[in-house]
Amino acid sequence: MRELKGTEVARSVFEDVRRRCREFVDKTAVSVHLAVVLVGSDGASQSYVASKGKACDEMGFVHTDIRLPDSTSEAELISVVEKLNSDSSVHGILVQIPLPKHISEHRIAETIAPDKDVDGLNPVNLGKLLLGQSCLVPCTPAGILEILSYYHIETKGTHAVVIGRSAIVGKPMASLLMNKRCDATVTVCHSKTKNLAQMTASADILVVAMGKPLCVTRDMVKPGAVVIDVGINRIPDSTKKRGYRIVGDVDYSAVADMCSAITPVPGGVGPMTIAMLMKNTLQACMTQYGEHNCR
Ligand code: GUN
C-alpha cells in the first residue's frame, strides 16, 4: 500500500507557484492579488481564511481580507463582490463558504467575475468544466487530480466512484474524471443511493466526500483500489489536549492494508486545497494579463 502524501504534493505545487510568480512579477511588475471575503464569525472559517492569507504571503502574492458581519445582506455582499470585480488590481476573488442562511451561495458564485473566480464555482467555469474546456477548476478536485498525477496513478479506463454530489467537490470531481484527460468511467453516489457498499466495492478509484466520519468500511472497498478521502471531521477524543481528533470519511485503519494507495487524514487531500487556490490565483492573474502558458 502506498500512502498518498498530500503534504508532499502540496509542497511541490507551492514551490512551482512561488517560482512562476517570481518570474511573472519580474517580467510584468504586476503584484498577484487575491481578495478573500469572510461573512460572519465561524471559527473554522476564520482559521481557513487565516491559512489562505499566510499561503499568499509565502507565494509573494498580495492579499486583501474583507470581514463582514453576520448581519450583512445579500445585496451588500453582492455590491462588495461587484466592486472587487471592477478593481483591476484584484485578480482573484474568494468568498468563504458556508455563508449565513439568508445569503444564496449560488447568487454570490454567479456574481463573481468568471476570470477572477479562483474557487471555480461560477456557472461559466462549471459549465466549461463539464464541456472539457480550459477554466478555473474548484480547488479540492483539482488537488485530487494533482495527487493522482504526482503518483502516476492511471485513471484511463478505470471505474471511478465518487461519493458526494456537491458543487465544490463531487460534481466537478466526476466531470474531471470522465473528461478526456482522465478517461475514467464514473459513478456518482449520494445520500439516497441504494446499495452503496455494492457500488463502492466495484471502484478502482474511490473518492469519498460524504462529510461523515469513518463511514467507508472494509467491506465497501475493492482489494487494490485507490482510495481518496476528502473528509475532515472532528470527533471527540479525551486523550487529546484539545478534546478531539481529526478523522476522514474513510476508516483508514480498517481499509488501508487492502488498498493499492490511500490518502491519510490529516495530510492527504486537505493541504492540496490551499495549494491549488494559490495555483488558480496565479493562473487567473496570468490569464488576465494574456499569458496562457500557466498550467
Ligand atoms: N469553505 C471550505 N472550503 C472552501 C473552499 O474551497 N472555498 C470556499 N470559498 N469556501 C470554502
Pick the residue whose CA is nearest to atom 1 on ligand 1.
97
Mean pLDDT over residues 25-38, rounded?
97
Looking at residue 295, its pLDDT comes to 45
Output the nine-digit C-alpha cell for 152: 502516476
Is residue 103 scored above 50 in pLDDT?
yes
Looking at residue 44, its pLDDT comes to 87
Question: Could you tell me if 167 and 234 lie in one domain?
Answer: yes
Residue percentage of the chain with pLDDT more than 90: 97
Short-list 140, 136, 135, CA closest to 169: 140
Is residue 109 scored above 90 in pLDDT?
yes
* Ligand 1 centroid – CA 96 distance (Å): 5
Is residue 293 scored above 80 in pLDDT?
no
Pocket test for ligand 1, best of 96, 118, 276, 278 (most atoms within 8 A of CB): 96
Is residue 294 scored above 50 in pLDDT?
no
Cα separation, 60 vs 62, whole angstroms: 7
Q: What is the pLDDT of residues 178-202, one digit of tens each?
A: 999 999 999 999 999 999 999 999 9
Cα separation, 113 vs 93, whole angstroms: 8
Question: Could you tell me if 69 and 160 lie in one domain?
Answer: no
Range of the domain at 208: 139-271
Residue percentage of the chain with pLDDT more than 70: 99
Residue 290 pLDDT class (50, 70, 90 cuts): confident
Residue 292 pLDDT class (50, 70, 90 cuts): low
Q: Give the CATH number, domain containing residue 248.
A: 3.40.50.720
Question: Could you tell me if 263 and 233 lie in one domain?
Answer: yes
Place of cell 448581519: 71
Q: How far is CA 261 from the centre of its chain?
A: 20
* Ligand 1 centroid – CA 34 distance (Å): 14
* Ligand 1 centroid – CA 140 distance (Å): 9
Question: Could you tell me if 260 and 224 lie in one domain?
Answer: yes
* Ligand 1 centroid – CA 258 distance (Å): 32
- HSE at residue 175, side-chain half, CA atoms within 13 A, is 24
Per the DSSP assignment, residues forming a β-bridge with 39 are 68
**Phi and psi torsions of 118, nearest 5°:** -70, -10
Q: How far is CA 154 from the centre of its chain?
A: 21
Cα separation, 292 vs 78, whole angstroms: 29
Pocket test for ligand 1, best of 47, 94, 116, 281 (most atoms within 8 A of CB): 94
* Kind and range of the H or E run holding 201: none
Q: Which long-range contacts (CB under 8 A, 24 or more apart) does 77-81 make?
A: 77/37, 77/39, 77/103, 77/108, 78/107, 78/108, 78/111, 80/37, 81/37, 81/108, 81/111, 81/112
| Residue 218 identity | R
Average pLDDT, whole number, for the chain? 97
Lowest mean pLDDT among 39-48, 199-208, 220-229: 39-48
Residues identified as active-site: 52, 96, 119
Which is the closest atom of ligand 1 to the Cα of 98? 1
Question: Could you tell me if 67 and 150 lie in one domain?
Answer: no
Q: Is residue 282 a part of any domain in this protein?
A: no
Residue 92 pLDDT class (50, 70, 90 cuts): very high
Q: Quickly list H helices, the chain.
A: 6-28, 43-59, 74-85, 105-111, 123-131, 139-150, 170-178, 196-200, 252-255, 270-288
The gap between the terminal CA atoms of the chain, to the nearest Å, is: 30
Residue 292 CB partners (closer than 8 Å, separation 6+): 286
Output the nine-digit C-alpha cell for 266: 490529516
What does the DSSP 8-state code read for residue 250? Answer: B
Q: What is the pLDDT of residues 221-276, one digit of tens each?
A: 999 999 999 999 999 999 999 999 999 999 999 999 999 999 999 999 999 999 99
Q: What count of other Cβ atoms lies within 10 Å of the Cβ of residue 159?
A: 16
Question: Could you tell me if 109 and 159 lie in one domain?
Answer: no
Question: How many distinct structural domains can be found in the chain?
Answer: 2
Place of cell 445582506: 73
Cα separation, 111 vs 123, whole angstroms: 10
Q: Give the CATH number, domain containing residue 97.
A: 3.40.50.10860
Q: Is residue 19 a part of any domain in this protein?
A: no
